[in-house]
Chain A
Amino acid sequence: MTTTAAPATATPVVGFDQVTKTYGSVRAVDGLSLALHPGETVALLGPNGAGKSTTLDLLLGLKNADSGTVNVFGTSPREAIVAGRVGAMLQSGGLMDEVTVGEMVKLACSLHPKAYKAADVMARAGITQIADRKVNKLSGGQSQRVRFALATAGDSDLIILDEPTTGMDVSARQAFWATMREQADQGRTVLFATHYLEEADAIADRVLVLHRGRLLADGTAAEIKAKAGARRIAFDLEGAIDEAALRALPFLTSVDVSGQTVRIQSSDADATVHALYGLGVYPRNLEVAGLGLEQAFVAITQAEEAKQS
């Protein structure tokens, strides 16, 4: 591994070293190197087709890399799973039709070498009251919770969640993440892929941004936002607005004028605001704010698209 951030004694929970996976002419994962460390809660972000699913598949040994190595707890992914160290919930993971939720969870528990009691697993996943229901008769959110129960049937050290809250309503989603935090607080490493960036912002202590199979950004949510570089400046102007003058302000990345309201993104908000006053205007209701993770994510990936095209 080229990563030296962790102490040399600690084996990374997950180590990707120059991993490449291609489908035909498409490089789904392109020379990816990364290391996850014990106890981290990591969000994996990326636009559709960025290689998130392939990355998770490689990590779980469902696919083999064309080149490079994937290690989980210093062993192959399959060995780590057989040792019961990995619990995973995949979007593409199905359930066994015509059996009940309770039977399904019991099966997962009996397959796990460090299993919890099925009743406890169901209680934690919030599916005790649907234990007698057939798994093919569940709502989307309920199936997700059953999948979560399967992923947490035993005392695994690493939990992988692929779009875990898809199909859940807002309150179910909050309940889900509360449960997930408990898992993380017990010292587990959690890696989750999500489309809801506010989840990544609120829950992850580290965010990985994938783009075209490469790692575009790796840091805390705050660092990612800082990396996106931009801050939002919004204000109102009275009378006629000289848009050309606004556009000439330094460090702008975008300008949007609607009615009397001006919204600007700037890579150096201090300098931009300073120059704004230099125009001799009187901005009212001035707000300067950092980008949300979502906007930062869009900014980073779009900048990369622009660089490549």
Chain B
Amino acid sequence: MNALIKLELVRAFRNKKFLFFSVLYPAILFLIIAGNAKDTRVDGTGLTLPTYMMVSMASFGALTAVLMGNSERIAKEREGGWVRQLRLTPLPGRGYVLAKTASAAVVSLPSIVVVFLAGAVIKHVRLDAWQWLALTGIIWAGSLVFAALGVAIGYVASGDAVRPITMIVYFGLSILGGLWMPTTTFPQFLQDIAKWLPTHAYAALGRAIEQSQAPHTTDIAILAVYFVLFAGGAAWLYRKDTLKA
């Protein structure tokens, strides 16, 4: 299975477009959005805009890395027969999905770190060492929720439909969850929706650390429920697909 992970990685790092959108794009977006508003405090958080947005964009980058590549690849490789071919090898059935998830996790780490570097070096975001480490760890770990979602989409969508479906989910979750702008700027009814989205809870974890707090139980619970939902759905869809393949 390590060989498959390695090959998935080789392939991911060969794909310039994917690397740009998952590693560089979030950092660039961060630099644009964080702007020069160094002293603007985001409502109710006490955090400066760059500090606030840094977590949003790191989360966004990790989301891109784990969601975008996998859903499309899985859907296409199911149709193209690669999944069948792998089933003719001693690789355990779940090895395919695990390799995909592991390789996405490897790509998501630089996308988080690059945003942090941009924040620290260019936007002068200052945090304690433990905060940087905890942020990296929690955003990285939290991205597993969306990796599971990516797998589920890959198994539910056909090769033609997978891109639009992924895009809708991706932008929907990013924007409504407040990764691009604080949800406090939303009208009330959108805020009511946003607070139940996994991306909202995801960014809130990191923000709590920036505020030197423990992550809120509600956010952890929301993410846990989504993880069970996505991973369970992915497992169920995977099994269904295996029976008909």
Chain A residues with a Cβ under 8 A of chain B: 60-64, 81-84, 86-88, 90, 92-99, 103, 106-108, 110-113, 147, 150-151
Contact = CB atoms under 8 A, between A and B. Distances in A.
A84 B89 CA distance: 8
Interface of B: 3-4, 7, 10-11, 14-15, 76-77, 80-85, 87-91, 243, 245
A81 B90 contact: yes
Given A90-B81, A92-B84, A93-B84, A103 B89 contact: no
Contacts of B4: 107, 111
B123 to A, nearest CB: 35
Contact of B89 (A63, A81, A98): A81
A94 B88 contact: no
Contacts of B15: 98
B81 A92 contact: yes
A90 B88 contact: yes
B85 A90 contact: yes
Contacts of A103: 7, 10
A58 B207 CA distance: 53
Contacts of A106: 3
Contacts of A113: 90
A107 B11 contact: no
Nearest to B245: A62
B84 A94 contact: yes
B90 A88 contact: no
Nearest to A109: B3
Given A93-B84, A98-B14, A103-B10, A112 B89 contact: yes
A62 B7 CA distance: 24
Contacts of B87: 60-62
A96 B76 CA distance: 10
B7 A111 contact: no
B88 A110 contact: no
A92 B76 CA distance: 13
Nearest to B95: A111
B85 A95 contact: yes
A84 B84 contact: no
29 contacts: A60-B88, A61-B87, A63-B243, A81-B89, A83-B90, A86-B88, A88-B88, A90-B81, A90-B84, A92-B81, A94-B80, A94-B82, A94-B83, A95-B80, A96-B7, A96-B11, A96-B77, A97-B77, A97-B82, A98-B11, A99-B10, A99-B11, A103-B10, A108-B89, A110-B3, A111-B89, A112-B90, A113-B90, A151-B88
Contacts of A108: 89
A133 B84 CA distance: 22
Nearest to B81: A94
A83 to B, nearest CB: 8
Given A60-B88, A86-B88, 18 more contacts: A62-B88, A63-B243, A83-B90, A87-B88, A90-B81, A90-B84, A93-B82, A94-B80, A94-B85, A95-B80, A96-B7, A98-B15, A99-B10, A107-B4, A110-B3, A111-B91, A112-B90, A113-B90
A93 B90 contact: no
Contacts of B90: 81-84, 111-113
A62 B11 CA distance: 27
Contacts of B88: 60, 62, 81, 86-88, 90, 93, 151
B71 to A, nearest CB: 15
Nearest to B76: A97
A96 B11 CA distance: 10
Nearest to A94: B81
Contacts of B84: 62, 90, 92-94
Given A64-B243, A93-B88, A99-B10, A111 B3 contact: yes
Nearest to B12: A98
A83 B15 CA distance: 35
Contacts of B245: 62
Contacts of A60: 87-88
B77 to A, nearest CB: 7
Nearest to B82: A94
A112 B4 CA distance: 12
A97 B80 contact: yes
Contacts of A111: 3-4, 89-91
B4 to A, nearest CB: 6
A150 B85 contact: yes
